[in-house]
Amino acid sequence: MIVLILSHTPVWVWGLLAALMALGFSQTRERRLSSWRLLMLPLVLLGLGLWSMAPGFRVLPLSALVWLAALGAGVALLAGRPAPAGAAWLPAEQRLHLPGSWVPMLLILVIFSLRYAANVGMAFNPGWRTAPELLLPLALLYGGFSGIFLGRALALLKLTRAGAAGPARSPLWWSAGRGQPLSH
């Protein structure tokens, strides 16, 4: 059964997975990037979430409201948090210095796996495409994950404000790894 599923998966899906993994791996290394590049991953995942839910929005408009509420909750959860320890705005370079973390890669793989499993399930059970008991939890998860990535980016963008030069002092759970403690 697994071989059948994998062999019938379109080639472009594997290309998408490779691109998402490249984005995830880029997050594992300490790096310096511009503000617009910081927004690239959240916007890609936001687009993927919208693409995943668009058919569900048409079938069950309530799923769009659930998705928006989850997006807002994810943004609110992280946008107000302090930037990760070691993150800093470098005014001379007009770039953010960010510590590496494996958490984005993990979340990217969870999102991809969720979408892949949902689509496989819908291929075998077409009735799932209109089932509120599937569409509403998917809307909640896709919206929430998109909000988490966007909220993190917004928290980091606060460093670019005038007077925000220097390293961040408060750790954020996102910076797990690299010997930094988790903070809740």
pLDDT band at 177 (very low <50, low <70, confident <90, very high): very low
Quote the pTM value: 0.79
pLDDT band at 173 (very low <50, low <70, confident <90, very high): very low
pLDDT band at 125 (very low <50, low <70, confident <90, very high): very high
**Cα torsion for 138, 112, 26, 75, to the nearest 10°?**
0
The pLDDT, as a whole number, for residue 162 is 47
What are 100-120's pLDDT values in tens digits? 999 889 999 999 999 999 999
